[in-house]
Amino acid sequence: MALRRVLSPLLLILIINFCYPTQAIDQDDLLVVAVASSENDGYNRFIRSLKVYGYKYEIYGLGQESTNAEQRMKIVRDNLVRYKDDKKKIILYTDAYNVIFTQGPVFVLDKFEGLKPARIVFGAEDKCWPDENLQYDYPMVGSNEKRFLNSAGFMGYASDIYEMITSQDDIKDEQIFFTKVFLDESSRNKWSIVLDKRADVFMNLNGAINELQLPANGDDVYVHNSWTDSIPTVIQGNGSAQKSLNYLSNYIARTWSTNEGCLQCKESLFDVTQIDDLMQWPMVYIGLFIEFPTPFLREYFEKIMKLTYPKQRLSILIHNQVRVDEYLASLKSYDTTEAEARQQAIHECQEDKCDYLFILDSIAHIDHPDTLIKLIAANRTVVAPMLLRPGQTWSNFWGDYSDAGYYQRSPDYMDFINYKKMGLFNVPHIAHSYLINGSFLQRFTPTYVDAQIDPDVKLCQSLRDAGYFMYITNELNYGHLIDTDNFNISLIQPELYEIFNNVKDWKARYLHPDYHKALEKDAIIEQPCPDVYWFPFLSHEFTEHFINLMETFNQWSGAAHNDARLAGGYENVPTDDIHMTQVGLQEHWLFILRDIVQPIQQKVFTGYYSDPPKAVLNFIVRYMPDRQNRLRPHHDASTYTVNLALNDAGKDFEGGGCRFLRYNCSVTSTRRGWALMQPGRLTHLHEGLPVTKGIRYIMVSFVDP
């Protein structure tokens, strides 16, 4: 009896070895099979990874209606029947939409060999489903091993697999069927089924993303499971794990190189500039959405018009919920909700068979004229240019999202926005500016409309659920986002107040175009009088808006000595003026003094450093022949004074200017938008020369009194 117990297993091993030779399996005998009814981005990614590593594969069911588990297994049975007697063929079955291969066939077969005498290997995971009660029937495993079967991936000899999947007429639920096959000791032994407990081949991401690291072998980034200390090849991310798979897809399967960076950026490009006939360029519909008051809206439109794309191949749709400039009245608009308007834009593109739909919200400023051409070149279903609020981490994409569907930062988010990693990246959420491929819209309709969530969140959700990807590209600095949070359109000139929220745009509009030339190393700043420096400061538009603000406010002091605005209530040398405190611009002007004036001051008055510069009195002065037309000689209560000309001498007024008595030197031909900077006390006694005609406006700051 004891002899039988020893000999029986030996006999079984001999039979197995006779049927399945022990020599290494030829990689040509490995065949990857999957069932897919249609192609989407997930499917194309799966196929790409197979091609990258040179796998032979067969996809079953393409063109059929969406399949359930029962139909899938029937399709697999019908197609594997031709391999049912093949004792050498190795079949690797997996999902076709949420899987990425990360190593080649030889690597997989070596791992399969290491699991012998197994003839069928199933992927494993840490969760027992769909029936948790079955966990008690599973064999125990080591502390760093995965105990429960996952039916999404398995591999083995074709004849065994065919016999296994035909052992029951109808397989209505793959997970339940294969779980019961494995838990039944007789069937488990019959086909020598084992679980890939260490994730040597199959890595299911459900609840396991924190186990993974992404080291590199040379340029090739691969997945290492630090928990099981394995290097899995077939990475699976079904259900809630799809976002983890999408995150990994930016690096694995030769999409990223540690030396070259983004590799997938160089694939499947479409260079529209190679088309000589501009009338043959793709037709692009641009959907513009102005959903709330937005500063610097004029510049938003100007940048659209500067796009390097043939205007005859653009069509503009606009949804406007706020007052905008009159010249927009001719543009097509929709009297609908935001979600309905966005959905209508998709419908228009579908109806007209446009080639691309470019969505552009009013807060998205496209600074790079080639942005549209670059997005088309990426040749993706949906691609967005990365846009940031300048100086902030706020962007137009999410790197990750929580289980509840809200924003969550991904590990690589900061690398993206700081341009430490540049390229094309699969992300779960994009907004404000993105390009949708029109051919995609002919076969699928993304959804914006949902009363419970924001339109952009709904759009991204509908794309993710359908297996379509959204990419962000940061290969160039494409533009930036406007901050509308505190934009107050009740103000007379609301953009004047935006220097804190939108300093980039404020400077683009209001800084003098020659200001930065004055800061160049070898630049010589004009000196019309001794120690009086003259420099380009603020733009023509600033001076217009500033004067309009003050005249509309219209609470001029009347040049009275008694002045309740001052701490002492008395002004020795009064002017007809309005203080910045009166119009709510005092803090804004102090910022201007520090950020814009101080660099000039440190260049001309070397050795003097006061940071931040202090200025209690910042005011606009108005000189008129019939009111105050001049100012008597005086010293300013300042270390240095800034005097900005707000309108044109000889055009808006005659006469006027400033005379420095000690030097008998006058500056009369003042330049609009230019400022004089002079010492305040002691050396520069000066007077305001009489204005004989018109109105002269100046802006004065007494810095460091």
Over residues 437-476, the pLDDT tens digits come to 999 999 999 999 999 999 999 999 999 999 999 999 999 9
Q: Residues with catalytic annotation?
A: 696
CATH number at residue 336: 3.90.550.10
CATH number at residue 646: 2.60.120.620
* CA distance linking residue 237 with residue 339, whole number of Å: 31
pLDDT higher than 90, residue 403 = no
On whether residue 12 sits in a domain, the answer given is no
Residue 149 contacts by C-beta under 8 Å, 6 or more apart in sequence?
122, 123, 124, 125, 138, 175, 178, 179, 182, 195
pLDDT higher than 90, residue 93 = yes
* CA distance linking residue 247 with residue 390, whole number of Å: 26
On whether residue 557 sits in a domain, the answer given is yes
Residue with tokens 């838990």: 183
Q: 472-485: per-residue pLDDT in tens?
A: 999 999 999 999 99
Nearest to residue 75, comparing CAs of 36, 123, 46? 36
On whether residue 451 sits in a domain, the answer given is yes
List C-alpha distances in Å: 548 to 62, 351, 492, 543, 577. Answer: 67, 47, 8, 8, 14
On whether residue 436 sits in a domain, the answer given is yes
On whether residue 9 sits in a domain, the answer given is no
- Whether the Cβ atoms of residue 656 and residue 696 lie closer than 8 Å to each other: yes
* CA distance linking residue 36 with residue 43, whole number of Å: 8
Average pLDDT over residues 188-206: 97
**Residue that is last in its domain, among 224, 246, 264:** 264
Asked if residue 679 and residue 667 are part of one domain, the reply reads yes
Asked if residue 681 and residue 594 are part of one domain, the reply reads yes
* CA distance linking residue 675 with residue 407, whole number of Å: 47
Asked if residue 657 and residue 644 are part of one domain, the reply reads yes
Report which of residues 134 and 322 the model is more confident about.
134
- The pLDDT of residue 134: 96
Q: 250-291: per-residue pLDDT in tens?
A: 999 999 999 999 999 999 999 999 999 999 999 999 999 999
Element (H, E) at 78: helix 69-80
Asked if residue 674 and residue 593 are part of one domain, the reply reads yes
Asked if residue 238 and residue 307 are part of one domain, the reply reads no
User: What does 448-475 look like in DSSP terms, one character per residue?
Assistant: ---TTS-HHHHHHHHHHHTT--EEEE-S
Average pLDDT over residues 351-380: 98
What pLDDT band is residue 18 in, cutting at 50, 70 and 90?
A: very low
Element (H, E) at 4: helix 2-19
Asked if residue 476 and residue 371 are part of one domain, the reply reads yes
Asked if residue 291 and residue 215 are part of one domain, the reply reads no
- The pLDDT of residue 333: 54
Q: How many degrees, rounded to 5, is the angle at CA 411 between CA 405 and CA 416?
A: 100
- The pLDDT of residue 218: 85
Helix, strand or coil for residue 434?
strand
- Whether the Cβ atoms of residue 634 and residue 700 lie closer than 8 Å to each other: no
- Whether the Cβ atoms of residue 501 and residue 587 lie closer than 8 Å to each other: no
- The pLDDT of residue 334: 55
On whether residue 166 sits in a domain, the answer given is yes
Q: Cβ of 513: how many Cβ atoms within 10 Å? A: 11
Q: Helices 455-465 and 338-352 sit at what angle, rounded to 10 degrees?
A: 50
**Residue that is last in its domain, among 220, 245, 264:** 264
Average pLDDT over residues 324-335: 54
pLDDT higher than 80, residue 324 = no
Asked if residue 249 and residue 328 are part of one domain, the reply reads no
pLDDT higher than 70, residue 343 = yes
Instruction: Locate 398 and state its tokens.
Output: 């999410």
Helix residue ranges per DSSP H, 318-454 = 338-352, 371-378, 413-417, 438-441
Asked if the bond preceding 130 is cis, omega within 30° of 0, the reply is yes
On whether residue 15 sits in a domain, the answer given is no
- Strand pairing report for 314-320 and 284-290: parallel
* CA distance linking residue 642 with residue 593, whole number of Å: 9
Q: 106-160: per-residue pLDDT in tens?
A: 999 999 999 999 999 999 999 999 999 999 999 999 999 999 999 999 999 999 9
Look up the domain containing 607 and give its range.
496-703
Asked if residue 516 and residue 389 are part of one domain, the reply reads no
User: What pTM, to 2 d.p., does this model score?
Assistant: 0.92
Mean pLDDT of the chain, nearest integer? 93
- The pLDDT of residue 330: 53
Total count of domains within the chain? 3
* CA distance linking residue 419 with residue 296, whole number of Å: 26
Q: Helices 503-510 and 540-553 sit at what angle, rounded to 10 degrees?
A: 100
Report which of residues 538 and 218 the model is more confident about.
538
Asked if residue 258 and residue 303 are part of one domain, the reply reads no
**Residue that is last in its domain, among 481, 504, 530:** 481
Asked if residue 391 and residue 475 are part of one domain, the reply reads yes
On whether residue 309 sits in a domain, the answer given is yes
Asked if residue 247 and residue 328 are part of one domain, the reply reads no
* CA distance linking residue 346 with residue 437, whole number of Å: 11
What pLDDT band is residue 323 in, cutting at 50, 70 and 90?
A: low
